[in-house]
Amino acid sequence: MIAYPTGNEPDLWDPNPGQSGYRFALGNAALATSKNPPLIAICMNPSHAREDQSDKTINRLIRASEERGYAGWIMLNLYPERSPKPSALSAFDPALSTANKFAITQVLARFRATEVLGAWGNLTHATLRHAKLDVLPLLAGLGVRVFTFDPPTKDGNPRHPSPQGSYLPMLGPKVYLT
């Protein structure tokens, strides 16, 4: 079990209470406002993290939010199905994707976000690739740009915060992908 860093335990989760099969949003935004927003990231899909247990990806996002002076952190995903192995995801469910897009829209509107940290890496599962095709036009339609702190992958995707065996530095300047 991985603990949340002290003071960074989630105070925002959707659905509330958490569901075992999917998660739309998880974060700590008690001190955040539209003028002092949290670091909002969009990853692949939820893995281990829950309201009471973190994981290495969430802890890396928390560390980046602290290093960059953000007022908290929020994790969203291209697709909300929980699975520590993206290769084990179910077939794409349009209704679940629509609910995910609604949740993304709600979070972005709450903080009047104009940008999000892209953090999904290369997508090897068809469900995730389909979800990306749903989420990116939503972001564009809302006027929200995707950025990364590290060079994109060869395929042009923003890198995942905790690639196999290491942590992403997230120390470079913002590079906008869209």
Please tell me the distance from the alpha carbon of residue 101 to that of residue 166, in angstroms, as a whole number: 30
pLDDT band at 160 (very low <50, low <70, confident <90, very high): confident
To the nearest whole number, what is the mean pLDDT of the chain? 92
Q: Which residue(s) pair with 13 in the sheet?
A: 26
Lowest mean pLDDT, pick from 13-22, 49-58, 124-133: 13-22
Edge-first strand order for the sheet with 145-148 is 12-14, 25-28, 73-77, 39-43, 115-118, 145-148, 175-176
pLDDT of residue 20: 76
CA nearest neighbour of 24 among 102, 117, 132, 118: 102
pTM: 0.94
CATH class of 12-176: alpha beta
Residues 78-122 pLDDT 10s: 999 999 888 899 999 999 999 999 999 999 999 999 999 999 999
Please tell me the distance from the alpha carbon of residue 168 to that of residue 178, in angstroms, as a whole number: 21
Share of the chain above pLDDT 70, in %: 94
Share of the chain above pLDDT 90, in %: 75
Q: What is the mean pLDDT of residues 28-50?
A: 93
Residues 44-86 pLDDT 10s: 999 888 888 999 899 999 999 999 999 999 999 999 999 988 8
Residue 111 vs residue 161, higher pLDDT: 111
pLDDT band at 164 (very low <50, low <70, confident <90, very high): low
